[in-house]
Amino acid sequence: MAQTETKRLSTGLKILYTLIFIVIVFILFEAALRTVGIHTRRESPFFLLLKVHEYPEYFRRHSTLFWEFIPNKTIKGDFLAEGEYHINNQGFRGEDFSTEKPTDVIRVGCIGNSCTFGWEIPEGKTYPELLELELEEMYPEQDFQVLNLGVPGYTSHQGLVLLKEKVLDFDPDIITLSFGWNDIWGAGKGITDKEQEILSPTVVWLQNILAHLETYKLMKYLILEVTEDEGLESFNIQNPQYRVSQQEYRYNLSQIERIATENGIVPVFLTSPAPDTRVYFGPQSESQLENLFRIHEEYNQVIRQLRDREQFWVAPAATYFKNQSGFFDPRLEDYIHYNVKGHEYVASIIAQYLRRYMIVDNVIESRQLRQGS
């Protein structure tokens, strides 16, 4: 009996010592990786496979949105694009704001991708910030609060989820929506946004914890060295699988319009600006990007069809950018994100559209009627 107990104790100690040894080795390996500073970030056309765990100090995984910003951060340096970006208490760019809408304020939410977020745009120069100034100048007796709800890499699918899970809680009176470029990006491993696996909160929590470990980053890097290249080889350029198909794009925008309207929100959709190829590339040049621009324009055409057939509110930003120069720079390095001048123009386009169609006036009138009843 005593021998059996001694044997069990000996086995237990061996297991304990083994575990302690493994932990010590892991700690030493983790410390070595942090000291050496091995580069484990990969360049890839597939955003879903790349950026979330590449920057765990700024991004965190999300079950249904796929990724979101960590609130209360100031991002500096070469995160995605050079610049400094303040992420507020709600996890978006800009000043802190309360979930509850301030009394007598017209709240406008600008939902979109990195163009809305303000890729390489200084603080105070993004179109949501400039829109607030323009509206206050147009309606000096009315207070406005314009929220920048743009997140880099987001598609219309994520915009729809964002509206349902977060934006409705902010109780905006008006929302603007700008999507397109990420929708036509290649779907990693052919898995569209709609088909992405919805992970449980527990799994997401664990992934967010592991994302801070250098050992985990290295393992992920080595795995992607093989699997991501396979994804590139299987990507069919002639018949590509986009993150969001045109059919899904139409569905997402229609659902956004329906949900917003049912909740007393006026949704205003923007056609997505792109450089005029004749201006950007020159009249005699031919570019491999022209096919991408053509597909991008097809998605813009979906928005116009919804305007014509379903009476969507559509501010034609893409049309206004045609035959214009100076909104994208430097030449050929970034044909997606417009510069400060472009943001000023977009803010003006939205403000003029809201005034021309009396959207703000109708919000003010509806509020006055509710207060008087």
Domain presence at residue 214: no
Residues 24 and 171 in one domain: no
Domain presence at residue 191: no
Residues 154 and 14 in one domain: no
Residues 164 and 298 in one domain: yes
Q: What is the CA radius of gyration of the chain?
A: 24
Residues 158 and 26 in one domain: no
CATH number at residue 158: 3.40.50.1110
Domain presence at residue 91: yes
| Helix 127-138 vs helix 340-356: crossing angle, to nearest 10 | 40
Domain presence at residue 205: no
- Work out the percent of the chain whose per-residue pLDDT is above 70: 78
Find, among 94, 154, 102, the residue nearest to 130 by Cα. Answer: 94
Tally the domains of the chain: 2
Res 3: pLDDT: 59
Residues 269 and 364 in one domain: yes
Res 205: pLDDT: 83
Average pLDDT for 247-265: 98
287-344 tens-digit pLDDT? 667 788 889 999 999 999 999 999 999 999 999 998 788 898 876 678 899 999 999 9
DSSP letters of 47-107?
Answer: GGGTHHHH-TTTEEEETTTEEEEPSSEEEEESSSSSEEEEE-TTSSBSS---SSPPTTEEE
Residue 236 has pLDDT above 60, yes or no: no
Residues 25 and 84 in one domain: no
> What's CA 90's distance to the chain center, in Å?
14
Identity of the residue numbered 338:
Y
Domain presence at residue 355: yes
Handedness of CA 301, 302, 305, 311 (dihedral sign): negative
Identity of the residue numbered 202:
T
Q: Is 358 left (phi over 0), alpha (psi -120 to 50) or beta?
A: left
Residues 12 and 114 in one domain: no
Q: Is 282 left (phi over 0), alpha (psi -120 to 50) or beta?
A: left
pLDDT averaged over the chain? 85
Residues 14 and 85 in one domain: no
- Work out the percent of the chain whose per-residue pLDDT is above 90: 55
Residues 322 and 263 in one domain: yes
Residue 244 has pLDDT above 50, yes or no: yes
Domain presence at residue 358: yes
User: CA 99 to CA 140: how far, in whole Å?
Assistant: 24
Domain presence at residue 171: yes
Q: Residues with Cβ < 8 Å from 350, sequence gap 6 or more?
A: 127, 131, 176, 268, 270, 315, 317
Res 14: pLDDT: 76
Average pLDDT for 56-71: 91
3-state secondary structure 167-213: HHHHCCCEEEEECCCCCCCECHHHCCCCCCCCCCHHHHHHHHHHCCC
Q: Which domain holds residue 5?
A: 1-37
Contact present, 179 and 159 (Cβ < 8 Å): yes
Average pLDDT for 218-231: 61
φ/ψ (deg, to 5) at 287: -130, 145
Domain presence at residue 209: no
Handedness of CA 307, 311, 316, 322 (dihedral sign): positive
Residues 163 and 289 in one domain: yes
Res 53: pLDDT: 57
What pTM value is reported for the model? 0.85
105-163 tens-digit pLDDT? 999 999 999 999 999 899 999 999 999 999 999 999 999 999 999 999 999 999 999 99
Residues 153 and 102 in one domain: yes
Residues 271 and 166 in one domain: yes
